[in-house]
Structure 1
């Protein structure tokens, strides 16, 4: 788990920039969806279609606070292990990434980043919070492998609430107000339910695989085996176990200041399953149960969430 200096500098500068914004300046709207203005720019969204995907790209797509930072690092660990790079090769690859100074999400940063991304060595690991209809068409045309990460909506909501109240790029909110905004899709990256519903339409594509936060937490070794097989990584049991241990949530949280600067303390909180029980009222439980039933029950991704196990008292 190696720190990217330019990445940490970018995150630290972003935190400083956030603190200078008035509450009404913190969010921007693009095509009816809210985004944090300090990370996302209208001109970057407009230039997004210029991104050229490669057939060997790995695209990780997940709604905010579903575990994308954790799984991104796991993927980098698996890719490095499978690549069998020498120390010299690892240093060279890291130097290229550091020099290009790429923001951590496809939709973050300046529009020129898509030109810089062309210089990244394969296999590129590209992370986004966007639903499929907002992604560049080249991702689907290239037949790049797409890993869709999902998490149960109750824990996602609670994690997002705590994150937004710690992260100065979002306006602060009370729990009840945030619950209402989340249920109405009036949060960064829009509706959780729309996001999962849209990805469900693609889930039978042979180049797309879904995995849940909960299964990665409960049996990381098995989860990593599934991912490695999907991505064509030839790894033995010992190598997979090494990645599982070195990139556990606990390990990443301990090293978060080194890898993510001051942002690390905001990004990695509990990483637990079932934390929603600490905040949900009975009426909120019932409202979420109804919404899940209306939007996701009966879908393949809805079944993978295992709502009856993870979202019932």
Structure 2
């Protein structure tokens, strides 16, 4: 295992260790009105984040929790290694809001381009990202599968506090009382910026349907120029299953749980008819008739 992967896996193990013995209320704390997990975030780190300075060539990845961020981080790193022949050696947790307050000083030493990820709401992103015109890739997953994946993560990782039932989790998810807040608030805000020059929105589902096409689109957006053969090679190494097969090596004991199934439509295993209709109504209220709503193909992926 590469040193970077070992240290990264160790950082994940530390975070999981912190969650031992906590209950759900102790797991979350509120910062500026949004709930975050105490295991990887802190008020001190958010305050230190004010010292973060984005670079124009940063490769920024934004997603709501459990929408494919760890999968995309792998693809982005492979894209950089393949096209620039340079290996990223950062051992930091890639999510900029996660870790200790000193991480932002260490990040200044990282070579460009840096792959930086975040689950933060658009309004909470650091102003230097926009000032310096860093490009932002936003990955969305249909909300029903995102919710089910989120629930299983909580209830399958032994050290993380579990919800007593799916019904309990569903209620908290719909009310934005889960880590990183409301899926729908996140989506509504990004819909306003779907046509911004420095923003590319891609969906989990389109990547599952045609990964090579997605890799090509992402490469062009960030200004990388892989050959057709390189795109196929990255896609071959980067299928969800291929990444999952190496997850124990790259992400430690939590790896197989971070990359659980990766299938589209798993929501049907847990949603009741009433819950399905409740989310349909919420989606309609927040995203019905919008560009992002159309891009998510809700009628294709979220109808029974």
Same fold? TM cut 0.5? yes
Cross-structure match for 2:105: 115
Q: Deviations over 1:77-110 (max 9, x none)?
A: 111111034xxxx3xx42xx24xxx123111011
1:55 has 2:56 as partner: yes
Q: Report if aligned partners of 1:26, 1:171 keep a CA contact under 8 Å in 2.
A: no
Name the CA shift for 1:258/1:212 in 2 (closer, same or farther; >3 Å).
same
Q: Which runs of 5+ in 2 are unaligned?
A: none
1:178 has 2:169 as partner: yes
Q: Deviations over 1:123-162 (max 9, x none)?
A: 0110000111111100011100100100101101111110
Distance 1:23 1:65 in 2: 18
Q: How does 1:22-41 map to 2 (within 5 A)?
A: 22-41=23-42
Q: Report if aligned partners of 2:95, 2:117 keep a CA contact under 8 Å in 1.
A: yes
Distance 2:25 2:170 in 1: 20
Cross-structure match for 1:307: 298
Q: Deviations over 1:178-222 (max 9, x none)?
A: 111111111111000000111111111111100000000000011
Cross-structure match for 1:286: 277
Q: Report if aligned partners of 2:23, 2:161 keep a CA contact under 8 Å in 1.
A: no
Q: Deviations over 1:261-311 (max 9, x none)?
A: 011122111000000111111111110110000001122111110001001
Q: Report if aligned partners of 2:5, 2:250 keep a CA contact under 8 Å in 1.
A: yes
Q: CA deviation at 1:171?
A: 4.2
Q: Report if aligned partners of 1:48, 1:135 keep a CA contact under 8 Å in 2.
A: no
Moved more, 213-222 or 43-52: 43-52
1:224 has 2:215 as partner: yes
Q: Which runs of 5+ in 1 are unaligned?
A: none
Distance 1:84 1:34 in 2: 39
Q: Report if aligned partners of 1:14, 1:39 keep a CA contact under 8 Å in 2.
A: yes
Q: CA deviation at 1:173?
A: 3.3
- TM-score after normalising by structure 1: 0.93
Distance 2:119 2:290 in 1: 20
Q: Report if aligned partners of 1:64, 1:189 keep a CA contact under 8 Å in 2.
A: yes
Q: Report if aligned partners of 1:49, 1:137 keep a CA contact under 8 Å in 2.
A: no
Q: CA deviation at 1:169?
A: 3.7
Q: Report if aligned partners of 2:62, 2:137 keep a CA contact under 8 Å in 1.
A: yes
Q: CA deviation at 1:170?
A: 4.1
Q: How does 1:205-216 map to 2 (within 5 A)?
A: 205-216=196-207
Distance 1:63 1:266 in 2: 17
Q: How does 1:1-313 map to 2 (within 5 A)?
A: 4-85=5-86, 90=87, 93-94=88-89, 97-98=90-91, 102-167=92-157, 168-313=159-304
